[in-house]
A and B are shown apart, each in its own frame.
Chain A
Amino acid sequence: MVDMTNYAIHAEGLTKHYGATKALDGIDLSVPEGSVLGVLGPNGAGKTTAVRILATLLRPDSGRATVAGHDVTKDPTAVRRSIGLTGQYASVDEQLSGRENLELFARLLDFTRPDARARATDLLEQFGLTEAADRRAGTYSGGMRRRLDLAASLVGRPSVIFLDEPTTGLDPSKRDDVWNMVRLLTSEGTTVLLTTQYLEEADALADAITVIDLGKVIAHGTASELKQIVGGRSLQVRPENVRDVADIRAVLSRITGRTVGEPTRGLLTAPIEDEQQFTNVVVDLASRGIPVTEISLSLPSLDEVFFTLTGQKATTEPVKEPVS
């Protein structure tokens, strides 16, 4: 048996039905303290339902789960004291200002009035919202709203944070903002469960990834472990001088035993079977004195992993998952 005390989130066999629809069909999840789990899946896979159960907003039909050591159905209040929730649904009051929202949540978390004010000021500062602090949240831009949502979930200094599709609908530069804040949180030891439709996001932020589809876990592992499932790593070499291209192609072909095509964007690519071939290429090029600016071993993208696992193309367009 696994030692439960090391897990900030631990769920076994969670099921949830909506009428005849099985939203969750026996999900197991575990997140070690201080780590980030990415829950990856297409629309309707059950990600939001799983988060709502773990955050005590929904009761599972069966199965059990603990968050921060507390049972989500038997001791929801203790769970609520330990968690922060940010998502498409758990947001802020648009008619109140950023500061008023944060102060309200602080008061509801039993901060005294001066403490609530101080905590709100700190968070507004930390999330770059000081200037907008007294404007109605409804007037915030998409990126500011997401930062305020995130700040709101951190008011009580939770040890576990749920981020349900934190960057859906954000443009890439704003997305980087959110990613940096998530990294900051984890560097402080907070446990994060992040759901996403973006493979890139899970790859960038998560220590481990659980892939779910149709209410079931279909794969779990680190990003590189998942990529191994698909196999097909490739070796990439960028010649320093164009005149060396032919020589490098010859080396790659000989060692990998495959035909190597023309360089694309200055990069020569050859599929390889094992690390030894990588070493051989490096040694061979060095002994011939052929200069290269880049040589790397790349794993297949998570998109390909996802396609292999679910048999469908991963979502690239943000589509809003229906709540519950």
Chain B
Amino acid sequence: MTTMTVPDVAVPRPASSLPWLRHSMSLAGRSVKKMVRHPEQFFDVTLQPVLFLIIFVYVLGGAIAGSTQDYLQFVLPGILIQTVLFSTVAIGVNLNTDIKEGVFDRFRSLPIPRSAPLVGATIAECLRYALTIGVTMIAGFVMGFRTGTSPLRVAAAMLLVLFFAWCMCWIAIWLGMIMREAGSVQGIGFLALFPLTFGSSMFASADTMPGWLQAWVKINPVTHLTDAMRGLLTGGPVAQDAFIALGTSALILAVFAPLAVRAYRTKA
């Protein structure tokens, strides 16, 4: 046995006051690299909105709204939200499998905040959402969608849906942490998203719906998000719906982010 001194732990420490953010960004970089290396996972987020737009506008649009062009103006914000919300499930599925691999135990053994690997993954995820939003908007423009407001309002619409999706993805992460199998995360996620998306003002005005459904549509936060997005993209009142959508997002984040982090910490 040697009696030599232990090498000193002279690890350089930059004087950043936000190590949490820096660690999260480093881990986001990891997730982005993995995404770029598996471009097939972009198929759903890029092709799906285009397919949905075509189906809803050209197949159903005429029947619902009388003209495909009118329906495009009406449904695009809805398709945008729907695709982004459905793509929030992916992070739960991915983390459920990711966490079973060895690298997460190494993350746990590093002196970084416990939430950093999760926050990092969500930051990377926002890039996917942004891509989805971009593709949907471009497809919409090609098909003839026109915004009726200022670029600033359009940008606000993008940020609003991005923030809503970012908050929602914490539900998926939480499910990913408590579910045994990745498949069940996807199943439950999609099951929950159907009433949230279709049971809203996304695809049709609630006027023709039965009373009980109207009641749900009115309290569904996705309805308020949709109405706020319509206001920001094509004109109309925004403030109240946007306020409700932001409030719901914050509430979801406040409840599910701590739940997700706690589930992650206790998942040995």
In the bound complex, do residue A91 and residue B103 qualify as a contact, i.e. CB atoms below 8 Å apart?
Answer: yes
Docked pose: A90 CA to B107 CA in angstroms: 8
Given contacts A58-B268, A157-B7, contact A89 B14 (CB under 8 A): no
Asked if A122 CB lies within 8 Å of chain B CBs, one says no
How many chain A residues have a CB neighbour from B under 8 Å? 51
Residues in B whose Cβ lies below 8 Å from that of A35: 1-2
B4 near A: Cβ within 8 Å? yes
Contact indicator A100/B33 (Cβ below 8 Å): yes
| Choice from B26, B37, B38, B102 contacting A92 with Cβ under 8 Å | B102
**Judging by beta carbons under 8 Å apart, are A57 and B7 in contact?**
no
Sample of 20 A–B contacts (CB below 8 Å): A85-B109, A90-B109, A92-B103, A93-B103, A95-B33, A105-B106, A108-B27, A108-B116, A109-B110, A110-B13, A110-B19, A111-B12, A112-B14, A157-B7, A157-B10, A157-B11, A159-B9, A189-B5, A190-B7, A207-B1
Q: Given B7, B13, B27, B112, which contacts A159 in the complex, CB threshold below 8 Å?
A: B7
B248 to chain A, nearest CB (A): 33
Residues in B neighbouring A81, C-beta threshold 8 A:
9, 11, 111
Measured between beta carbons, the chain B residues less than 8 angstroms from A56 are 108-109
Interface residues on B, range: 35 or more
Within 8 A of A (CB), among B57-106: 101-103, 105-106
Once bound together, how far apart are the Cα atoms of A33 and B105, in whole Å?
25
A-chain residues with CB within 8 Å of residue B13 when the two chains form the complex: 110
Does A187 lie within 8 Å of B2, measured CB to CB? yes
Q: A residues 35-73 with Cβ under 8 Å of B?
A: 35, 52, 55-58
Q: Across the interface, do B6 and A159 meet the contact criterion of CB distance under 8 Å?
A: yes
B268 touches A104 (CB 8 A): no
**A91→B109 contact, CB < 8 A:** no
**B11 contacts which chain A residues (CB < 8 A)?**
81, 109-111, 156-157
How far is B107's CA from A142's CA once the two chains are assembled, in angstroms? 22
Residues in A82-123 with C-beta less than 8 Å from chain B = 82-83, 85, 87-96, 100, 104-105, 107-112, 115
- Rounded to whole Å, the gap between the CB of B62 and the closest CB of chain A is 46
CB <8 Å contact, A90 and B30: no
Chain A residues with CB under 8 Å of B27's CB are: 104, 108
Interface of B with A (CB < 8 Å)? 1-14, 19, 22-23, 26-27, 29-30, 33-34, 37-38, 101-103, 105-112, 116, 268
A80–B109 touching, CB < 8 Å: yes
Query: Does A191 belong to the interface (CB within 8 Å)?
Result: yes
- Residues of A within 8 Å of B6, CB to CB, are 8, 33-34, 159, 189-191
Contact pattern, A 142-186, Cβ under 8 Å of B = 1, otherwise 0:
000000000011001111000000000000000000000000001
Tell me the smallest distance from the CB of B111 to a CB of chain A, in Å.
Answer: 4
Interface of B is mostly: loop
- Closest residue of chain A to B13 (Cβ to Cβ) is A110
Q: Name the residue of chain A whose CB is nearest to the CB of B98.
A: A93
- Nearest to A156 among chain B residues (CB) is B11
Complex interface: chain B residues within 8 A of A191 (CB): 6
Q: Report the bound CA distance from A100 to B103 in whole Å.
A: 13
Let me know if A26 is at the binding interface, CB within 8 A.
no
- Contact check, A189 vs B4: say whether CB atoms are below 8 A apart: yes
Residue of A nearest to B34 (CB): A95
In the assembled complex, the CB of B105 is this many whole angstroms from the nearest CB of chain A, namely: 4
**Min distance, Cβ B88 to any Cβ of chain A, angstroms:** 22
Q: List the A side residues contacting B38 at CB < 8 Å.
A: 95
With beta carbons under 8 angstroms apart, the residue of B14, B102, B268 that contacts A324 is B268
Q: Are A105 and B102 in contact (CB under 8 A)?
A: no
B107 & A108 in contact (Cβ 8 Å cutoff):
yes
- Which A residue's beta carbon lies closest to that of B266? A59
Across the interface, which residues of A come within 8 angstroms of B5, CB to CB?
189
CA separation between A95 and B14, bound complex, in Å? 28
Closest to A136 in B: B37
